[in-house]
Every structure is written in C-alpha cells, then in structure tokens.
Amino acid sequence: MSTPLSQPIVKKIWRALAEFSLLEPDDKVLIGYSGGKDSMFLAYALSQLKPHLRFPIQLVAAHIDLGFGLDISPHKPFLNELGIHLEIVPTQISKILAQPSRQNPCSRCAYFRRGALKKIALELGCNKIALAHHNDDAVETLLLSLFYSGQLKTLAPKTVWDESNLTIIRPLCYLREYYVNRAARDLSCTPLHNPCPHAETSKRAEIKALVRNMTYKNPTVYSNLASSLRSGRPIDLWPAVPTKKELEERFRKFAAKSGDHTEDL
C-alpha cells in the first residue's frame, strides 16, 4: 500500500476543506480521474482523509475517455484498493478536436470534458465533482485568462453550477505542484502519460514555462502571483468601458466646458 500522507500535505488539504466548506455530511463526490499524477493523488488523498471526517461521504471516480487510445484499466486495482469505484465514460472528443475550428483546442476539450463529467455525475447521483487542480494550475489560469482573454479570473476552490446544482471542488488548491509530484511517486500505481497531441505545445505549457523561468530569476514572483488570486487585494484598474450613450453624454459635457473645439481634433 502507498505511504501515508505527510503532515504538510494534510494541513494544506485540511485547510482547503475547512476554509471553503468543500465537504459536507452525506456528500457523494465524483472524482474526475484522468490517470495522471494529479488525479491519482487526489483520489488517494481523499480516501485517506475520509475516515477522519466526522460525517459520512461517498467517493466514486469517473474517467472521461477522450478517444486517444488511453487504457485506464491498469488503474482499477489501485482505485479498488482505495474503495473507489471507477466509471469509464467513452466519448468522441478526439474526433471533434480533429475537425477544423478557430477555437483553441484546449478550451474545446475542456468544454466537452466538463459536459461529460456533469452528465455522469448526475447519473450516479453525485452532488459534487472533485477536480485535481493544484495551486500552480490556479496561478497559470490567472495568467492565461489575463493574456488571452483580457479577464482577471482563475480556478475557484469551490464553484456551483446553478443549472445542475452540482458543486465543483478543488481540495488540492493550496498544494504546489512539486508536493503533488513527490507524493504521487510514492503511490502504488504508475501515472499514465497524457495522450493529448497538444499537451507539450499548449498555451498552458507556455505559461508554465514562463512562470518557472521568472521564478528562477526572482523567487518572489510565484508567491506574488499566488497572493493575487485572492479578492480583497489592492486593485487599481481603469473604470469599466462606458456605454455608447454614456460616452456621448460625456463628450457633450466636455465640449460644453472646453468651448466645443472637438472639431479640431
């Protein structure tokens, strides 16, 4: 059997569970299970912490088969040992991604995977979906959103899908990736290689390399980025874009004050 969780890891996961109220009595939690190191560790960590909760929860896992030929069956004994049943959900996502599109393939893949996860969660009677995003994922998503969509947003520790009443939770949100990597090496199962053809050339891979290089030059870069994930931090941005009507009114007021020389501009 795999080695017990270290105290630093337990404290960070426990803090996330308590601070963001990620688990509640009688939750049935679906673990999004890719077979990679992050989802492996999430399944193991939740199974180890489950007996220490003062209320009952259920854990199940679902693997969304994207159609790239990845064989998840070697992981069934590992999950069975943890007492977690694995559902395998076949999809045609790889074929959809092969079709020409102007949209980013990673964004399209994430959209279809979320839909498949939502569907199986509802079929299994789950009220929560646990995803294995760690702190590095949240920081990288913040920069991805800023660079490629002009928005300040990131992965939240807890998100409610109003239309389905499902709650997304991220119990590893306080863990740095290197903690997860080290812990995953001690598990009694080998992580599966990501079969996605875009894995090494994605925008996320570029952002990960950027953060790594900048942090190497200045160790405070990562901690500053992580601090910016919090609302309530000092924000000094331009005001919101005015509507056309508001802008016209401001032009009229400015023209009245300036003697209406706007035609000279």
**Average pLDDT of the chain?**
90
Nearest to 32 by CA among 19, 24, 41, 21: 41
Average of per-residue pLDDT across 97-110: 75
User: Residue 32 has what pLDDT?
Assistant: 96
* pLDDT tier at 260, thresholds 50, 70, 90: low
Q: Give me the helices (H) in 60-134, please.
A: 76-82, 93-98, 105-123
Q: Rounded CA gap, 91 and 168, in Å?
A: 21
CATH superfamily of this structure's domain 7-227: HUPs (3.40.50.620)
User: Residue 259 has what pLDDT?
Assistant: 66
User: Residue 2 has what pLDDT?
Assistant: 64
Average of per-residue pLDDT across 223-232: 91
Predicted confidence (pLDDT) per residue in 138-189, tens digit: 999 999 999 999 998 999 999 998 778 899 999 999 999 999 999 999 898 8
Give the whole-number percent of the chain exceeding pLDDT 70: 95
**43 in Cβ contact with 82 (< 8 Å):** yes
Q: What 8-state DSSP symbol labels residue 35?
A: S
**Hey, which residues does 87 pair with through a beta bridge?**
62
First to last CA, the chain: 75
Instruction: Say which residue the tokens 């560790």 belong to.
Output: 41
User: Residue 265 has what pLDDT?
Assistant: 47
User: Residue 264 has what pLDDT?
Assistant: 54
Least confident of 122-126, 198-202, 245-249: 198-202
Q: 3 or 241, which is more confident? A: 241
Residue boundaries of the structural domains of the chain: 7-227
User: Residue 95 has what pLDDT?
Assistant: 80
